[in-house]
Each structure stands twice: as C-alpha cells, then as structure tokens.
Amino acid sequence: TTGSLDRPGAVCSVCGQIFPLAETIRLDNQPVCASCKPVAMQKLREGVTNNNAEKIRKDHIKHEASVKSIGILYFLAAAFLILAGGLGLTANQGEGVIVSLLFLAIGVAQIWVGIGLRGLKPWARIPTGILSGIGLLGIPVGTLINGYILYLIFSQKGKTVFSEEYKQVIAQTPHVKYKTSIVVWIFLGLLVLLILLGLLAVVWGSHK
C-alpha cells in the first residue's frame, strides 16, 4: 500500500497503477481497481476451476489408466483371435470354418471396443459389458478378470471417466500423469507371452 500523506492509495495487482484505497477492492488478498475487477474476477474463477479439475483428475487418474489398459488387453486378444481365425479358415472345412469366422468377428469387435476404451468413449461401456459378461463364464481366471473389468466400467468412478465433463477435466489438466507400476508391466508381459505361445500352438496345429 502506498500514496500521499493525506490520501493513502494501493497499487492495482492487475494494471500496476496507483488508486485511492477507497476505489479498490481486495480479491484473493490483492488490491484491484474498479476497471480491472472483471479481468481479476475471471482469472480467479479460472484458477478455482483449474484447481477443482486437477483434484478430480488426480482422484480418477488411476481408474482412467486402468480402463485404458483394458483397451490394450482387448487389442492383444483381438490379434490372437484374428490370427487364429485366419489360420483356421485355411486349414478347416465345415464346422471349423464357422468357428474361424466367429473368431474373426469377435476379434474385430474387440478392436472396435478397445479403441473406444482407449478414447474413453461413453458408447464403449455397453459392448465392454457384454463381452465381459460372456467372459465371466471362463471360471476361474476369466471370472476374476472380467469381474474386475465390469467394476472398472460400471462403478461410480467408471461413470465419471466416461462422461463428457471428464473430457473437459482432461483438457484442463494435461500436466497430470499416471505412472504405470512395474507390476502392471510384468502382468502385460506375461499376457503377451501367453498369447504368443497360443499363436505358436495354433500355427503348429495347422501344419500337422
């Protein structure tokens, strides 16, 4: 605060000019002149909005990353099904062809759903629910994995990360990142290894 001896004043925190103390207000504990008040109010609102967005993102970033990881799993499973279906078409006849076509159709569907999951598209929740519901029949491992997928998609946090409002939160918080743990990378590595072994088994069987 500054000014003459008889007229104390304040330096506006926005424009830097000196005004009589009576002609300023305090926003966020800083003096602001009447002309700069609209700009200061807007900056204050944006600051509050960004802080809220950052809190929401941090509260949901782990869930968001888990959902996107499911998209990667769908891509891997789709690669296995499509290759198995393609090999089956060249080696089988009759009922074997029908099974191979079914593999191809499910593989294409999983790619489509995986793209939706990676992009957090709201429409992806329904086909993911259908595929995971079918996957529950794979007792016991399939039941556990697909039960977890259903939780990720249909829990309250799942509803939030698929919402249009959350897309705005993501746009406002590009600096908030999630570091995937080493355990997840090990799990994905093992899954890729299992898929490769499955592909080798299919190729070996088709050449017998």
When pLDDT is cut at 50, 70 and 90, the band that residue 1 belongs to is: very low
Confidence at 34, pLDDT banded by 50, 70, 90: confident
Q: In whole angstroms, what is the distance from residue 132 CA to residue 180 CA?
A: 23
Confidence tier at 64 by pLDDT (50, 70, 90)? very high
Asked if pLDDT for residue 97 goes beyond 90, the answer is: no
Lowest-confidence region among 21-35, 53-67, 153-167: 21-35
Taking residue 156's Cβ as centre, other Cβ atoms within 10 Å add up to 7
pLDDT tens digit sequence for 127-174: 999 988 988 887 887 788 888 889 999 999 999 999 988 998 898 888
Lowest mean pLDDT, pick from 36-50, 64-78, 168-182: 36-50
What pLDDT does residue 118 have? 94
Query: Could you tell me the two tokens for 204?
Result: 């070996």
- φ/ψ of 144, rounded to 5, equals -65, -50
Which of 85, 90, 83 lies closest to 195 in space, CA to CA?
A: 83
In this structure, is the dihedral angle defined by the CA atoms of residues 135, 136, 141 and 147, taken in order, positive or negative? positive
The pLDDT of residue 38 is above 80? yes
- Residue 4 or residue 142, greater confidence: 142
> Which of 2-6, 15-19, 165-169, 199-203 is predicted least confidently?
2-6
> The whole model's pTM is what?
0.65
- Note the pLDDT of residue 188: 65
Whose tokens are 């039960």? That residue is: 147
Residue 69: which pLDDT band, with cuts at 50, 70 and 90?
Answer: confident
Place of tokens 């949901």: 60
pLDDT band at 2 (very low <50, low <70, confident <90, very high): very low
For residue 25, give the H/E element and its range: strand 24-27
Dihedral through CA 64, CA 69, CA 74, CA 76, nearest 10? 160
Q: What is the predicted pLDDT for the residue at 83? A: 83
Joined together, the tokens standing for residue 110 give 């999983």
Q: Higher pLDDT residue, 92 or 158? A: 158
Amino acid code (one letter) for 81: L
* Burial annotation 116-133 (CB, 10 A radius, 16+ → b, else e): bbbebeeebbeebeebbe
Q: Euclidean distance between the first and final Cα of the chain, in Å?
A: 90
Question: One-letter amino acid identity for 158?
Answer: G
Residue 96 pLDDT greater than 80, yes or no: no
What is the bridge-based pairing of β-strands 18-20 and 24-27?
unpaired
Percent above pLDDT 70 for the chain? 75
